[in-house]
């Protein structure tokens, strides 16, 4: 390298060093914090205007309601809608109008929509294995509400939230057993069952029968399904009353209030006094039933609680949070008599 070239290289190096120094000083980098005091605490930061909470996706629950057959059912739907709103849960509600096929379609549509949790109030107990397998394959947890499902594999649903229908039947049976303990001779009982194959219809009947079995003079003389509706209750009771007087039932066990209302109309039409000529016990405890109970045309009403919304939403949240739930959750329930009816009526929500 010639002398000239060496000089040029020296000048170039000098220029480069000056430029680099200037660039660094112009940047004015902030000093690197060395202590924790220089940073706000987590709480301070979360309360500051700069803090943006991470966007939380609302939980989506698809709920297949079985129908609109009774005041109980309407109260159950409203409770679930209200609780969803209160908990910030998005609810997709489908009414199956008493059709299990429609419930299957609803579940499939929830799977397509990729909801977070599926809730089902099953119209009947049997036939759920395949559709629940589909939900399981899609990775969507299922909660059974109100009634039960009869499936081989209990891992197909997380939990059941609903009444102890057998116990409700037992309460009704005990009321009749105790009330008629001093009545001699044969006592015939007529039974208006709910929807055939539904859990409340099966279990209320079994519970009642378990108590009647203790007495050999009380037995079911007539029994038929009336679908939990007032209309059917009236029709079936009309038919029951066609028998000769000496075969007529002295007691009516109606599996819900609506059927009892229909039966009362039939009993009055036959020229008889409901609550006197025929002792009546029903289940649910709607305000209307308690008013009729206080008036003396029904003798006792076993409570069945429809307000399951808060428990259902809580369960959905727990599942999404990864917590384990008990396999069965049962609300507390009572029996109302003519003495307690007027007081209880004031607190009824349906």
Nearest Cα to Cα of residue 186 among 222, 216, 214, 211: 216
Q: Is 214 exposed, middle or buried (0-12, 13-18, 19+ CB in 10 A)?
A: exposed
DSSP letter at 199 equals H
Strands 142-145 and 90-95: unpaired
Question: Token digits for 269?
Answer: 């039409």
Least Å distance, CB 312 to ligand AHR, is: 14
Residues 225-244 that bind ligand AHR (CB under 6 A): 228
Out of 284, 298, 315, 344, the residue judged to bind ligand AHR by CB under 6 A: 284
Query: Which is nearer to ligand AHR, 44 or 97 (by Cβ)?
Result: 97
| Nearer CB in complex with ligand AHR: 147/234 | 147
Site for ligand AHR in 73-112 (CB under 6 A): 73
Residues 8-47, one symbol each (x = binds ligand AHR by CB under 6 A, - = not), give ----------------------------------------
Subset of 130-149 contacting ligand AHR (CB under 6 A): 146-147
Asked if residue 126 lies in contact with residue 101, where contact means CB atoms within 8 angstroms, the answer is: no
| 44, burial (CB in 10 Å: exposed 0-12, middle 13-18, buried 19+) | exposed
| Closest distance of CB 72 from ligand AHR, Å | 4
Q: What are the counts of helices (DSSP H) followed by strands (DSSP E) for the chain?
A: 12, 12
Spatial separation of the C-alpha atoms in residues 129 and 152, rounded to whole Å: 7
The DSSP secondary structure of 9-37, one letter per residue, reads: HHHHHHHHHHHHHHHHHHH-PPPPP-SGG
Q: Quick check: 69 binds ligand AHR (CB under 6 A)?
A: yes
* Position 312 contacts ligand AHR (CB under 6 A): no
Contact flag: residue 171 with ligand AHR (CB under 6 A): no
Question: Least distance from C-beta 335 to ligand AHR, angstroms?
Answer: 14
Residue 72 as a binder of ligand AHR (CB under 6 A): the answer is yes
Is residue 254 involved in binding ligand AHR (CB under 6 A)?
Answer: no
Instruction: Using the rule CB under 6 A, give the single segment among 68-76, 171-179, 218-226, 274-282 that binds ligand AHR.
Output: 68-76
Element (H, E) at 64: strand 60-65
Nearer Cβ to ligand AHR (144/187): 144
When asked if residue 304 is in the footprint of ligand AHR (CB under 6 A), the reply is yes
The correct pick among 64, 103, 256, 282 for binding ligand AHR (CB under 6 A) is 256
Nearer to ligand AHR, 122 or 141 (CB): 122
Task: Write the Ramachandran bin of 6: left for phi over 0, alpha for psi from -120 to 50, otherwise beta.
Answer: alpha
Query: Judged by CB, which is closer to ligand AHR: 111, or 172?
Result: 172
At residue 88, the 3 state secondary structure works out as coil
d(CA 13, CA 21) in angstroms, rounded, equals: 13
Whose tokens are 């000048």? That residue is 11
Q: Alpha carbon of 233 to those of 16, 243, 266: distances in Å?
A: 100, 17, 9
What residues from 187 to 206 belong to the interface with ligand AHR (CB under 6 A)?
Answer: 200
Nearer to ligand AHR, 69 or 116 (CB): 69
Binding residues for ligand AHR, per CB under 6 A? 69-70, 72-73, 146-147, 200, 228, 256, 283-284, 304
């Amino acid at each position: 390298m010639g002398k000239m070239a060496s000089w040029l290289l020296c000048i170039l190096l000098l220029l480069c060093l000056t430029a680099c120094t200037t660039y660094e000083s112009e940047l004015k980098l902030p000093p690197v914090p060395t202590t924790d005091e220089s940073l706000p605490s987590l709480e301070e930061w979360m309360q500051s205007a700069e803090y943006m909470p991470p966007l939380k996706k609302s939980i989506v629950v698809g709920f297949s309601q079985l129908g609109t057959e009774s005041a109980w059912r309407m109260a159950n739907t409203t409770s679930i809608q209200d609780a969803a709103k209160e908990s910030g849960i998005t609810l997709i509600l489908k009414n199956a109008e008493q059709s299990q096929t429609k419930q299957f379609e609803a579940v499939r549509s929830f799977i397509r929509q990729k909801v977070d949790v599926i809730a089902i109030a099953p119209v009947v107990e049997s036939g759920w294995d395949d559709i629940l397998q589909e939900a399981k394959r899609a990775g969507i947890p299922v909660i059974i509400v109100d009634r039960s499902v009869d499936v081989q594999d209990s891992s197909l649903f997380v939990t059941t939230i609903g009444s102890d229908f057998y116990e409700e039947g037992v309460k009704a049976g005990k009321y009749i057993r105790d009330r008629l303990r001093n009545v001699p001779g044969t006592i015939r009982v007529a039974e208006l069952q709910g929807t055939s194959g539904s859990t409340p219809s099966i279990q209320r009947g079994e519970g009642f029968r378990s108590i009647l079995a203790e007495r050999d003079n009380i037995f079911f003389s007539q029994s038929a399904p009336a679908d939990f509706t007032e209309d059917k209750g009236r029709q079936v009771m009309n038919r029951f009353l066609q028998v000769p007087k000496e075969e007529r039932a002295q007691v009516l066990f109606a599996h819900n209030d609506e059927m009892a209302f229909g039966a009362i109309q039939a009993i009055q039409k036959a020229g008889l006094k409901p609550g006197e000529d025929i002792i009546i016990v029903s289940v649910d405890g709607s305000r209307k039933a308690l008013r009729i109970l206080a008036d003396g045309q029904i003798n006792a009403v076993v409570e069945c609680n429809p307000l399951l919304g808060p428990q259902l939403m809580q369960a959905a949240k727990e599942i999404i949070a990864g917590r384990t739930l008990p396999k069965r959750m049962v609300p507390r329930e009572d029996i109302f008599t003519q003495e307690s009816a007027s007081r209880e009526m004031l607190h009824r929500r349906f």
